[in-house]
Amino acid sequence: MANRPKGYGLSAQIQRQRAARYDLDDEQDALAWMEAVIDEGEVFINVEGMKETTEALRDGVYLCKLMAALNPKLIKRINKPNTPFRCMENIGNFLNACREYGLISEDLFMTSDLYDGINITAVINTIHALGRKAQDWDYDGPILGPRESTRNPREFTADQIKEGKSLIGLQMGSNKGATQAGLNFGKTRSILD
């Protein structure tokens, strides 16, 4: 666990900015989805706000249970949260399982973001990304967020590419034959002999 200053300077400014961007609706959607997927009843009944969310998810147990419910093969075991090391190991196991599930690294939070309560917005965003990715795996349970887009690669023939180079696209516009001839800006330079 890192020893970070919290009351002054750049650290405090960044923490205030993160708190200002925190969205309670996103948090409640993510926690409600987790409850529905885990199906152990109302485990996040009085959880609202950054501090309570941090405390509820800090040990990593519910995150591991979430991933085990989505794909049981990805979580080998869930540690009892009796030491900080075990809690961080649970969080790390969840993040590794998310990578194997198909989440990109930009969607994942860091272990310290959750365990130290540094960036709970990133934790909520990871849960939302996991909810979107679950739809790609034909998960038939509750959904969170819209379905991810799929790739639609296009292939053009050489003739199509050649034809496209000869046309001026509509977004480029046209100058209709206008030139800069005769335009003078400012006072002209006068050279006297």
Q: How many CB atoms lie within 10 A of CB 69?
A: 18
**Ramachandran sector of residue 162 (left: φ over 0; alpha: ψ -120 to 50; beta: rest):** alpha
The pair of structure tokens assigned to 51 is 């501090």
Residue 176 has a pLDDT of 65
Residue 6 has a pLDDT of 60
Could you list the pLDDT tens digit for every one of the 193 residues in the chain? 456 556 677 777 777 777 777 777 888 888 999 999 998 888 888 888 878 888 888 999 999 999 999 988 998 889 898 899 999 999 999 999 999 998 999 999 999 888 888 888 889 999 999 999 988 887 788 888 888 888 889 999 999 988 888 776 666 666 666 666 767 677 777 777 6
- In order of their start, the domains of the chain are 11-135 (1.10.418.10)
Residue 142 has a pLDDT of 87
Cβ-proximal residues to 168 (8 Å cutoff; 6+ apart), any chain = 174
**CA 45, 48, 51 angle in degrees (round to 5)?**
120
